[in-house]
Structure 1
Amino acid sequence: MKVNGSAAVYRFVVKPNTANDPRSLGYLADAHSLSLNQITQIRCHDLYFVRGGLDEPEAEKLAAQLLHDPVTQLIEIDLLELPLTDHNLNQKEHPATRTIEVALRPGVTDPVAEQIVRAAHLLGISSLESACTGLRFIISGDGLTDDLLHLAAKRLLSNSVIQTYALGEITPSFSTAAQSHDLVEPIVLRGLDDAGLLAVSSLRRAALNLAEMHAIQDYCERENRDLTDIEFEMLAQTWSEHCVHKTFKSQVSVKRDKSDSRSFPTHYSHLFNQTIRAATKQVNADWVISAFTENAGIVEFDGTNELSFKVETHNHPSAIEPFGGANTGIGGVIRDVIGVSAKPIASTDILCFGPADLPLTELPEGVLHPRRIASGVVAGIQDYGNKMGIPTVNGAIWYDPGYVANPLVFCGSVGLAPKGSNPHATTPGDHIIVLGGRTGRDGLRGATFSSMTMDAQTGEVSGASVQIGAPVVEKGLVDVLMLARDSGLYNSITDCGAGGLSSAVGEMASECGGDVQLKKVLLKYPGLAPWEIWLSEAQERMVIAVPKKNLEALSALCIQYEVEMTDIGNFTGSGRMRVFHGATLVLDLDNEFLHHGIPQRHYSARINKPRFETGQTISIDDQTNSDFQNTLLKLLSHPNIASKERTIRDYDHEVQGGTVVKPLCGLHHDGPSDGSVIKPLASMTNHAFVLSNGLNPEYGKIDPYQMTWLTIDEAFRNAVACGADPSRIAILDNFCWGDPTRPEIMGDLVQSAQACLGAAVHYEAPFISGKDSFNN
């Protein structure tokens, strides 16, 4: 059926067939927590829009076989005439009932829509061209003014970073071709003064300081040319705090309070090497296979297999788009484990939020409410892990007012691989093969965004840095890569991290060189500039170095598992990274400068005495039994003590069948475990491993040194309590810190790093990997 000579557009409205819909009741509870008490009922319906040459029988087939569950849902089908008017629904309804519809902004990845198109074609509905999704909220109450509805939409029902909304019906936004954008802009640094250099860094959101900008300026002078925008963006990504960890690699001069009797070095020439790496070297455990050199730390497991472990943070993305930030946080560490040729077998997460009952009047400008952040983050982790079939077996949740504007989201993944099965020797002549998801604007400048301080405008200017994950795509990618690994089809592998192809290909080519043709890169939609194609991150995308003789076998695997494969160039022996866009050379950088030209940073640290405060003393003799009972109940109801079972039950911790000791234990399986024990089914031995954690932010307010000791001690004790061998415990450090340019903040970091050295050596537990996140 055609409408006005164009493809037909159908809207499918999927409703729960019960009034007690948990999702709708959850939205109502959230509305009341935000003091939107005029709202007495919220009903949430799913919207699916499809476009193409469909006729009515095909639309009905799509509805019946794909878009709803007839046991629990009802579905309506509407043939639309576009454009819609925003108030159609409201004109039909009673004044006490209003409608808000929400949809993704153009250009934001819609993985559900992508799967609708794919599944429709499998059902034989090949005329379906495109799809998009949305939500309909039917709101009932008294005094539902437009102002109240706009407030509800902005604060509760939508996120302006990735979504748009309408009071009434929303017009679907299908992916459309943008005008081709081949322009490469020059970045003129030669001749600029200090103010001019910093202005360029700020304008491009590069997060580079003056010394780093001077180093790039000097390189331009030596090369006798200006940089292109793609070259400058690659340098900013490669030199970002997120990618190169320049704070931990810095020199630090330390001043100490004279009244503080504790002893700390007065100078560090390389903070990381003299503390955390030094601990691993001193412990010198022969069962550590790789520490700090690859995407994840690797240890020997059972004689024939090795375990890999990586934990990262996704704080800033989760603050502005909680679901997508946490979703891709889990996706990113799964990708890290795949990047050492391992199969992901377990996930973990530690989450820090502001108070869930924070009054709306106390919410800072441009900040999502902590309750909304928490629900979105938990949903994002659940969505990715469950769909990937990876058990989430360990974690923690902590609430504190300090996390209102900047939540902390730690995501971790454990992998298993046959011993010695991770090749990492890129050879000149190998083909640069990209597997998995396509490139779009979502994910741009993720590395530099994660290296900056957030403010009220962060969501507006950094929205493109947030992605929506596609776990179904990554699942197929894992299957292909495990088979390719076992067949020896690639020479090295890495993930498209926060810098997309720039970070992946750049790292793999760092010792040899590479030539890339951007025209071969598969795009989600046309219209991307060369620097956008090169820099955009994708969770579900990996790069491997493949000898020519193995291309045919790899292609057959990709076809079998419906994973897209693209040959975008070759590794060379030139010592330079070169990128072409068609016939135009748009990037030509010397590898030595790109990877080793960054100036070492210098910081000043001030170590203060522990910040103990005198608390209130209450005599036990003055307390009655009733007082004790009330105190106990208050303690048990505190968010940091109360049960986290509701969250844990959202996660699948049984999938893959290896969880021996589960996150909840006890007679009724409702008490928190000290850790989890996993016995991988792929291991033919009786070996198992323990996954535990430690967290103590409250003590960090008093004494960062002791906080770190206590945190490592807690993680260690939790592991031993679950049966771990104390002589075979490896640890990961994950730092979430403030602005390191402030001497007192840097002083706290020095204390914590020094405690890492002391505690790890004391317990003979080597660090194998870690991550840092600053400007929180």
Structure 2
Amino acid sequence: EIFSNPVIQRFTRNKTITAPFVPSESVGELVEVIPLQDADDDALLNISSTRRLALNLSEMQAIRSYYQKEQRDPTDVELEMLAQTWSEHCVHKTFRATITYTGPLPGAAPDAPPETQKVDGLLNTYIRAATDQLSKPWIRSTFVDNAGIIAFDDTWDLAFKVETHNHPSALEPFGGANTGVGGVVRDILGVSARPIANTDILCFGPPDLAHDDLPAGVLHPRRIADGVIHGVEDYGNKMGIPTVNGAILYHLGYTANPLVFCGCLGLLPHESHPTEVQDGDLIVVIGGRTGRDGLRGATFSSMEMDQTTGQIAGSAVQIGHPIHEKQVLEVVLRTRDEQLYHAVTDCGAGGLSSAVGEMSEGVGGTVQLETVPLKYPGLTPWEIWLSEAQERMVFAVAPADWPRFKDICDGQDVEAVAIGHFEATGRLKLLYNDRQVGDLDLDFLHDGIPLGTLEAVWTPPQVEATPTPTRTTPDNLTELLLAMLAQPNVRSKEDVVRRYDHEVQGGTAVKPLVGIDNHGPGDATVLVPLDVQSAEVTSPKGVALSAGICPEYGELDPYAMAWAAIDEAMRNLVAVGTDPSQVAILDNFCWGNPNLPDRLGSLVRCAQGCYDAALAYEVPFISGKDSLNNEYMGADGQKHAIPGTLLISAVGLVPDVSKTVTMDFKQPGNLLYLIGDTQAELGGSLYQIMGETQLTAGEAQPPQPIPQALSRLQAVHKAITVNLIQSCHDCSEGGLAVAVAEMCLAGRTGAEISLMNVGAANLSSPASLFSESLNRFVVEVRPEDAQTLEKFLENVPFAQIGYVTASPTLTIQDRGGNTVIQADVTDLESAWRGTTGQPTSQPTNLPTNLPTIQPPSQPTSQPKVLILHANGTNRDREAALACQLAGAEPEIVHVNQLLAGERKLADYHMFVVPGGFSYGDDLGAGTLWSLDLKHRLGDDMARFVESGRPVLGICNGFQVLVKAGLLPGIDFNGTAQRSVTLAHNQLARFECRWVYLQPNPDSPSLFTQGLTEPIYCPVAHGEGRIAITNDDVLAVVQSQNLNALTYIDAEGSPAAYPANPNGSAGGIAGLCNSAGNVLGLMPHPEDHVFPWQHPRRHRGERGFIGLRLFENGVRHAAS
């Protein structure tokens, strides 16, 4: 009972468990007619309750009035569709409602006299109003589509969306998070964009919560966290979308209601997204088949939960299939580029009901429900129409374009069906065979909902202040800092970050983890989209992603929380080199029951803060989402509500990625400055959370707004663009002390800090150290640049606070020169990483100009390279770019094209099998693809290899070559398949990290010929361990020098984990055949073909690029 999840698992004791297959059943009465037009108010509420429609009395009355005019009763299809369309999840009725709010005026102090204000919709009054008032010229689309869109440059646009999947993740954490990622990816596909990055911000209950303290029916926070993280990992990695930015927070209020924020950034050509449905267009559905999974998900997400929710609404949790969605992605982009559709949207909440209903608005349509492909028989019409089965998209396709559209779908193994047509009737008609099962007026469907009038009140909480608090002693301050670094909200998330592939697509210029050992907590991530990467542009433009979230402040003042969240998102971007005038933000409000005046009052005050802060920072909202009713009713009648939580996600432009910075200290002797004001603001801070509750009245307030913050951000940005700043880190949780400690441990160097000039003269040491005042940065500056920096900051508060030391010790002195904190960097890092002993360090003084071999002469003719694609392949485009940079003419070819004879392997000079998750790798990495190639293309591949032409398999491609018998080769004692294989990593988890590969100078491999220096590139796999039958077989491999590449550490020596990330036998990273023309390796050399991709470029390290392997292959292919 403790270890099972009844939503997806069953258990018995001493009994056989029945087969978990969905039984085939016949459809009984197709459609139920609901007696509504004559129902009284009590009957209306009973219908809403028993059918879990989540509709209130006024909404049910409006539906009754409609059907009275229609002179009939609704079918179940129609009533369920209305409930979905009018759900809080879909229509955001709280944010559209008129609210009578009593509380302080916007901008007033929390204890200001309350005044009654009328709010004519939170969305229009505050969120959209700020965007409209700012009127930025680079905004393309806001609040009208699946995602907000801004300009990247004159050719490309960026689309950004963040969704929540909270209720499903509480019931089934893996599936909830998995399909949360899938859903937001489809939002990006729904604006015709290619997903290029994912984000995840996760909020859980305390990981050490006693099981007896769990409310009945609630999974333990550790189980929820494990499942959610695995779900995010599974979908993002298999889709080939790098998960590059995120956070994990723990708070008691999230125990019964975890929050799972899933974000996706996309790239699309400017003006490439059509949105106008044409009369006569076909309604085309592609992707996954329809089942009962996800039924009533929209209404389920609009209701509070209790201990019965899992039993009643378990089917509301969808089942994801990322490989299927990867192929849907390919279809969307190909049909977009051929202009084969007039509009597209995804099947999210409400399924076809929502997608077709939205696309039909202003037009009309007819749908034949029996034509919808089903996972299994037995679904009734309303289930077909409302199912939220995953991986489905809906298109408006002109009849003349349908044959070509269908051909593209067939080529990608994606099912596509025309289920009806759009027609200018103003009504949506649903048929099942010859029977009409639904007929709704679209104006009523979309505009008939009565907007409510709500009451809201906010009063500041009573804060107990201590007139003369007893302060911690200096010895305790050191212990407190170490405890802060180990606190779950602060401590390293490296174990989670490395489970996400943050290197796929080859565009991550500033990594999630930075520093001398690629382990420090980066402020934001910077990407260079693959579509704009070019050999001609050495300093490309980039895009940065960050987030701001601080729920503890909201418990004191939601207005202050809104300012703090926006400030955090902005300063994280600026800290890495983003232009603050080129930033857009998204809002995600997660709250409790909005029908309770106090809950709604805090939501109103937070929205007011969003408006004022957005104008102050001149940053527009481009999209957003609210998730309300995040409350759980325990069996004891006690309500468990989340703390009102605002997530601000930010996307900004980086003019030049060569002028970005990271947060790790770089060089002893450099000076340290604190930029910004430090005030006595400890309310809701980590200092208070850690038990330091004795605060004065002034200290007990949360960080206060700074109206002039934008000018400070601009000054920091200008200093970064002229290379004055060597490292930069924002002051966040734990204030100055934690920020400096993180910079020390990331750079593995010490610092001497004085609090003499930090804040006002009467500021206490704890406030100087741990205040979380907004808009502050610690920056590192070369001594010769200090005077110039101070001129840049002449209108900005700043103070020189110390310098970087060669001694690995952090020392902080108070105003009187007394040492209040002194800790070895190893102790700081051990506390932060949760480890003991000495960390393994990279060299701290690496040369800036590493020796490199001369590139081979370019081939006189461009050899043709076939990059093979199968369902689930996700690194084919990086491999194609690497081949192009090496002088070849690459072509990405789907395996179906080879099988159909549309392409012939013999027509190419080089063959690359790239990385990914072919067919999901559900039967083992590369297994299905290898069988497919071996039995259907085996002769062609054998002839290609025998001809001596180069063959390169990377990651999944390496797994395929080994399991197809091409590596180590058919001449390897005749036992290659039994002697060598690839197995799960030794740590039994996916691992993404950069590694050094040493080429074997005696290897026959043509790919490594002439290579003497190591190659530095990332690994990203879960099954990359080369397993060899016994030591005798390993000796044969080594004696024949088939181990073309081996893992080494930064000093060039063989090493164990993490330098050998998977535990491969003999440290082998790559194998070749005896002829030398076939090479397979697990790491990804295609993700290090530009200098800006090096993770420690900011520390002056260069070289070791993986392009050399491709240059050798192309040169031999051309010979």
With the length of structure 1 as denominator, give the TM-score of the two structures.
Answer: 0.78
How far off is 1:609 after superposition?
2.5
In 2, Cα distance between equivalents of 1:564 and 1:181: 28
Map residues 491-506 of structure 1 onto 2, 5 A cutoff: 491-506=342-357
In 2, Cα distance between equivalents of 1:350 and 1:617: 38
Q: Is the 8 A contact 1:257 1:609 kept in 2?
A: no
1:765 lines up with 2:612 in the alignment: no
1:727 lines up with 2:581 in the alignment: yes
* Counterpart selection for 2:550 from 692, 696, 716: 696
Return the letter of the residue paired with 1:698: E
Unaligned stretches of 5+ in structure 1?
1-153
Match of residue 103 from structure 2: 256
SS at match of 2:167: helix
Return the letter of the residue paired with 1:245: H
Q: Is the 8 A contact 1:394 1:663 kept in 2?
A: yes
How far off is 1:497 after superposition?
1.1
In 2, Cα distance between equivalents of 1:262 and 1:706: 17
How far off is 1:631 after superposition?
2.0
SS at match of 2:400: helix
Match of residue 549 from structure 1: 400
How far off is 1:623 after superposition?
1.8
How far off is 1:261 after superposition?
2.0
Return the letter of the residue paired with 2:178: N
Q: Is the 8 A contact 1:302 1:683 kept in 2?
A: no
SS at match of 1:503: helix
SS at match of 1:429: coil
In 1, Cα distance between equivalents of 2:574 and 2:42: 55
1:596 lines up with 2:450 in the alignment: no
1:633 lines up with 2:487 in the alignment: no
In 1, Cα distance between equivalents of 2:585 and 2:406: 38
Return the letter of the residue paired with 2:399: K
Return the letter of the residue paired with 1:708: A
Return the letter of the residue paired with 2:203: C
In 1, Cα distance between equivalents of 2:119 and 2:394: 36
In 1, Cα distance between equivalents of 2:74 and 2:543: 50
Match of residue 623 from structure 1: 473
In 1, Cα distance between equivalents of 2:391 and 2:542: 29
* Counterpart selection for 1:468 from 298, 319, 330: 319
Match of residue 203 from structure 1: 50
Return the letter of the residue paired with 2:508: T
Deviations 1:449-470 (A, max 9, x none): 0000011111110001001210
* Counterpart selection for 2:76 from 218, 223, 229: 229
Return the letter of the residue paired with 1:163: Q
Q: Is the 8 A contact 2:207 2:221 kept in 1?
A: yes
* Counterpart selection for 2:306 from 432, 451, 455: 455
In 1, Cα distance between equivalents of 2:259 and 2:489: 15
In 1, Cα distance between equivalents of 2:486 and 2:50: 48
* Counterpart selection for 2:292 from 435, 441, 462: 441
In 2, Cα distance between equivalents of 1:197 and 1:508: 30
Q: Is the 8 A contact 1:579 1:586 kept in 2?
A: yes
Map residues 242-391 of structure 1 onto 2, 5 A cutoff: 242-256=89-103, 260-261=111-112, 266-391=117-242
SS at match of 1:227: coil
1:764–1:289: structure 2 CA closer, same or farther, 3 Å change rule?
Answer: same
1:422 lines up with 2:276 in the alignment: no
Return the letter of the residue paired with 1:324: G
Match of residue 653 from structure 1: 502
How far off is 1:165 after superposition?
2.6
Q: Is the 8 A contact 2:102 2:115 kept in 1?
A: no
In 2, Cα distance between equivalents of 1:250 and 1:334: 29
SS at match of 1:186: coil
1:611–1:293: structure 2 CA closer, same or farther, 3 Å change rule?
Answer: farther
Q: Is the 8 A contact 2:103 2:116 kept in 1?
A: no
Return the letter of the residue paired with 2:509: V
In 1, Cα distance between equivalents of 2:28 and 2:339: 39
SS at match of 2:531: coil
SS at match of 1:155: coil
How far off is 1:257 after superposition?
6.6
Match of residue 674 from structure 1: 523
In 2, Cα distance between equivalents of 1:182 and 1:434: 26
1:218 lines up with 2:65 in the alignment: yes
Match of residue 159 from structure 1: 5
1:717 lines up with 2:566 in the alignment: no
1:605 lines up with 2:456 in the alignment: yes
1:348–1:264: structure 2 CA closer, same or farther, 3 Å change rule?
Answer: farther
Stretch of structure 1 that moved more, 339-348 or 192-201: 192-201
How far off is 1:195 after superposition?
1.4
SS at match of 2:264: strand
Deviations 1:368-397 (A, max 9, x none): 011100000000000000000000000001
Q: Is the 8 A contact 1:207 1:236 kept in 2?
A: yes
1:749 lines up with 2:603 in the alignment: yes
In 2, Cα distance between equivalents of 1:220 and 1:674: 55
Deviations 1:189-208 (A, max 9, x none): 12222211111001111111
Q: Is the 8 A contact 1:182 1:530 kept in 2?
A: no
Return the letter of the residue paired with 2:500: Y
* Counterpart selection for 1:238 from 52, 70, 85: 85
Stretch of structure 1 that moved more, 731-740 or 676-685: 676-685
SS at match of 1:195: helix
Match of residue 886 from structure 2: none
Q: Is the 8 A contact 2:296 2:316 kept in 1?
A: yes
Q: Is the 8 A contact 1:660 1:679 kept in 2?
A: yes
Match of residue 254 from structure 2: 403
Deviations 1:267-305 (A, max 9, x none): 012221010000000110010000000000000101101
How far off is 1:715 after superposition?
0.3
How far off is 1:176 after superposition?
4.2
How far off is 1:635 after superposition?
1.6
SS at match of 1:266: strand
SS at match of 1:735: strand
* Counterpart selection for 1:532 from 383, 389, 397: 383
SS at match of 2:2: helix
Return the letter of the residue paired with 2:7: V
In 2, Cα distance between equivalents of 1:645 and 1:574: 56
Return the letter of the residue paired with 1:681: L
Map residues 75-86 of structure 1 onto 2, 5 A cutoff: none
Deviations 1:473-523 (A, max 9, x none): 000000011000000000000001110000000000011000000110000
Deviations 1:48-99 (A, max 9, x none): xxxxxxxxxxxxxxxxxxxxxxxxxxxxxxxxxxxxxxxxxxxxxxxxxxxx
SS at match of 2:198: strand
Q: Is the 8 A contact 1:611 1:701 kept in 2?
A: no
Q: Is the 8 A contact 2:292 2:389 kept in 1?
A: no
Q: Is the 8 A contact 2:104 2:113 kept in 1?
A: no
Return the letter of the residue paired with 2:623: S
Percent sequence identity is 56
How far off is 1:624 after superposition?
4.9
Give the count of matched residue pairs: 620
Deviations 1:149-186 (A, max 9, x none): xxxxx322x32112223446644334542223452001
Map residues 128-207 of structure 1 onto 2, 5 A cutoff: 154-156=1-3, 158-167=4-13, 170-207=17-54
1:643 lines up with 2:489 in the alignment: no
In 2, Cα distance between equivalents of 1:751 and 1:615: 27
Deviations 1:114-135 (A, max 9, x none): xxxxxxxxxxxxxxxxxxxxxx
- Per chain length, whose mean CA-contact separation is higher, i.e. which structure has more relative contact order (CA < 8 Å, sep 6+)? 1
1:740–1:517: structure 2 CA closer, same or farther, 3 Å change rule?
Answer: same
How far off is 1:730 after superposition?
0.1
In angstroms, what is the RMSD of aligned CA positions? 1.6
How far off is 1:550 after superposition?
0.6
1:585 lines up with 2:436 in the alignment: yes
